[in-house]
Amino acid sequence: MSYTLAGKRVLITGASSGVGAALARRLAAQDAVVGLIARRRERLDDVLADCRRTSPRSAMWVADLADTSAAGRLALQSWHALGGIDVLVNNAAIPKRRAVAALKPNDVETVMRVNFFAPMRMTLALLPRMLARKSGTIVNVSSVGGRLGIIHESAYCASKFALCGWSEAMAVDLAGTGVSVKLIQPGPVDTEIWDRPDNEEPLYRGPKVAADLVADEIIAALGSDRFEHYLPDMMSLKDIVDAKNADLDAFIAGAAAMTWQ
């Protein structure tokens, strides 16, 4: 399925670094108009300056999506400023690497606000307009942690499992409306999420893929008929998820055993 980016208006959350920043620059280079949302003004200024070299109508909004009450209003403000939104990319996310027994309720609720409730509110704010227009794409950037329980990532996994379930049910509800849903499942990506303060040291020591590569594959997913995309396109990730679903007890036992090695 061909998909032309030129002239498309794309709103991206978490756009000041990592996958969001890489995606914004890639899209602007292909003549899309990008709207950028993130907390850090200076970093966002730099990304916007790069985007405006090829996409002068691009714009930015500084906001903390942990304030979910503002998320819907921000989405509508972006819609009006850009003259509509063709693609919403819910990319912003935060971790909380901590053993479940050491978590506080506020820890989990903060992760849920940024990783699930903000995407939900932004989507519901824009969806009536997309449905009336009979076109639009919602891109939810989840994680392989939205399909697998990961040691010391119970808060993060809860938020990403929620985003996966939300995306699947939404895709069913929206079938035939002209509004499509894409669920993105990145593996380990080389971004700042591994270095966030107030988190335990990550136990994962394996390879990570570049944010630019994931951004390129998200763009490729926009032109695909498929709903779910494991990125980078490594079947090994999907194989692991399929094996877990085939025998969940064996997966939990194996993961728990690896924890103590």
SS3 assignment for 109-154: HHHHHHHHHHHHHHHHHHHHHHHHHCCEEEEEECCHHHCCCCCCCH
If DSSP codes are grouped into helix, strand and coil, which group holds residue 34?
strand
Active site (catalytic) residues? 156
The pLDDT of residue 235 is above 60: no
Q: Which residues contact 27 (CB under 8 A, 6 or more apart)?
A: 5, 8, 10, 12, 34, 51, 55, 219
CATH, range 9-258: 3.40.50.720
30 phi and psi angles, rounded to 5 deg: -105, 20
Could you read off the pLDDT of 51-75 as tens digits, one per residue? 999 999 999 999 999 999 899 999 9
How do the domains of the chain map onto residue ranges?
Answer: 9-258
pLDDT of residue 233: 64
Q: What is this structure's pTM?
A: 0.93
The pLDDT of residue 165 is above 50: yes
58 phi and psi angles, rounded to 5 deg: -65, 155
The mean of the pLDDT values for the chain is: 93
CB–CB of 21/50 below 8 Å? no
The pLDDT of residue 241 is above 60: yes
pLDDT of residue 159: 98
- Give the integer Cα–Cα distance in Å for 197 and 190: 16
State the pLDDT confidence band at 201, using cuts at 50, 70 and 90. confident
Q: What residue type is 114 in one-letter code?
A: V
State the pLDDT confidence band at 261, using cuts at 50, 70 and 90. very low
pLDDT of residue 121: 98
CB–CB of 230/237 below 8 Å? yes
